[in-house]
Structure 1
Amino acid sequence: MKINVIITGATGMVGEGVMHECLLHPDVEQVLVINRKPVGVSHPKLREIIHTNFFDLSPIEKQLTGYNACFFCLGVSSVGMKEAEYRRLTYDLTLRVAELLAKLNPDMTFGYISGAATDSTEQGRSMWARVKGATENALMRLPFKKTYMFRPGFLRATKGLRNTLSYYKYVAWLYPIGRALYPAGFSTLQELGLAMIKSVSLGYEKPILEVKDIVALAKR
């Protein structure tokens, strides 16, 4: 199966790692990244659109057809943010993009980067977890071919990429210990990217993928 994928958030650590796996993978034929600033990568498969307002994609709408996958890796930290603003930049923005893509590409598989401990009930005490849960639930109601919610925990960064968060070099030593003692919470960024690709070509038996599911799907 040939995959033509749209990726958001490719100037962040996770999005860049997912893009990297897509560019390497033989099943991925075309990669379109939509960013607010240039990703700084050149590749025969890669096309880039610089667009600053994700709440209004109408100026680039005609360029978003013909894709059968979207890996939505765009996100913000909730640290220091009020719930209303975090919801606007997480729930509202994601749904604005997803609703348009569902209309333009009904055969699309939509993969969303969420997070471990996301609250599907939308009722818990953690603000970010409630908002992420609401976002997941809303995405799963859209008329995509398939939707998958990816909930990574601690990620081991991919070597050589430019957007790895600076503090990762100080905590990287934790990864092999954590993976051995608590495999349900630790995966690599490479495994996450491969799992997203394989969710399109192979599918998965449930729509929400925790860390153990991400690792299992990456190995298939």
Structure 2
Amino acid sequence: MQNKSVFILGASGESGKVLLKEILEQNLFARVTLIGRRKLTFEEEAYKNVNQEVVDFEKLEDYASAFQGHDVGFCCLGTTRSKAGAEGFVRVDRDYVLKSAELAKSGGCKHFNLLSSKGADKSSNFLYLQVKGEVEDRVGELKFDRYSIFRPGVLLCNRQESRPGEWLIRKFFGFLPDSWASGHSVPVSTLARAMLNNMVRPSDKQMEILDNKAIHDLGKAHGVLKP
């Protein structure tokens, strides 16, 4: 992988942030690009060579060059209905994600990794799960050489932004037995390692869906497997 290029969408979020840190610590790619609506500031020396492409997601077609020449892509882009409203949530989690995937495919990306959600189903009566399921299917129609979908349960992390409901849920899972909690939740560090371990292991599947258990199994190692 060390002669290849990767991009990350959503590196300002908790999952994307941990994923980026793991990629840099493991020195997995020759070029690492963050694609987002604003430039991120890093103090650590390890981040000095990270390339940043600032884009307007409402006009992504104008930024096709940001998606050119990457072998692998990770999409951790997302918002919440409470933060963006129903329309804003659909625009980010479906429209932005799908358009980004289209540009990545046109730009030569071979392996696209999508962070989705446990229970994603385009037929669901719940908007969140419905949108997640719909975008999974529509990205699949682009026919990447390899397409990996990750469906974690509740993500256990310490967000910088305040989400009281999630804080209570994380506390709840923190008091449960590990065997039960691991079936419905996962630490973001485990998710990040699972995404990378899955990436480096050989696969003959064009599309694969990894549920919460598979994410736990793949992310158990403290480091990342070498290709």
TM-score, L = length of structure 1: 0.83
CA deviation string 1:3-26 (max 9, x = no partner)? 521111111122212212112123
How does 1:9-20 map onto structure 2 within 5 Å?
9-20=10-21
C-alpha contact (below 8 Å) 1:198/1:217 kept by paired residues:
yes
C-alpha contact (below 8 Å) 1:179/1:187 kept by paired residues:
no
Q: Which amino acid aligns with 1:110?
A: F
Measure the CA separation in 2 of the matches of 1:99 and 1:9: 16
CA deviation string 1:57-101 (max 9, x = no partner)? 344433432211111111110237665543322212111111011
Measure the CA separation in 2 of the matches of 1:10 and 1:46: 12
Structure 1 partner of 2:74: 71
How does 1:130-209 map onto structure 2 within 5 Å?
130-157=130-157, 163-166=159-162, 167=164, 171-172=170-171, 174-175=173-174, 177-203=176-202, 207-209=208-210
Measure the CA separation in 1 of the matches of 2:84 and 2:50: 34
Structure 1 partner of 2:112: 110
SS in 2 for 1:147: strand
Measure the CA separation in 2 of the matches of 1:144 and 1:151: 19
Structure 2 partner of 1:49: 53
Measure the CA separation in 1 of the matches of 2:177 and 2:138: 32
Structure 2 partner of 1:86: 89
Offset at 1:165?
A: 4.3
Q: Which amino acid aligns with 2:6?
A: V
C-alpha contact (below 8 Å) 1:175/1:186 kept by paired residues:
no
C-alpha contact (below 8 Å) 1:5/1:31 kept by paired residues:
yes
Measure the CA separation in 2 of the matches of 1:105 and 1:124: 33
SS in 2 for 1:27: coil
C-alpha contact (below 8 Å) 1:179/1:186 kept by paired residues:
no
Q: Which runs of 5+ in 2 are unaligned?
A: none
Offset at 1:136?
A: 0.4
CA deviation string 1:111-144 (max 9, x = no partner)? 111111211xx22211111111000011111121
CA deviation string 1:174-206 (max 9, x = no partner)? 336353323211222111111212232215666
Q: How many pairs does the alignment contain?
A: 212
Identity %: 23
C-alpha contact (below 8 Å) 2:35/2:66 kept by paired residues:
no
Measure the CA separation in 2 of the matches of 1:133 and 1:100: 20
C-alpha contact (below 8 Å) 2:182/2:216 kept by paired residues:
no
Query: Is 2:39 the partner of 1:38?
Result: yes
Question: What RMSD in Å do the two structures reach over aligned CA positions?
Answer: 2.6
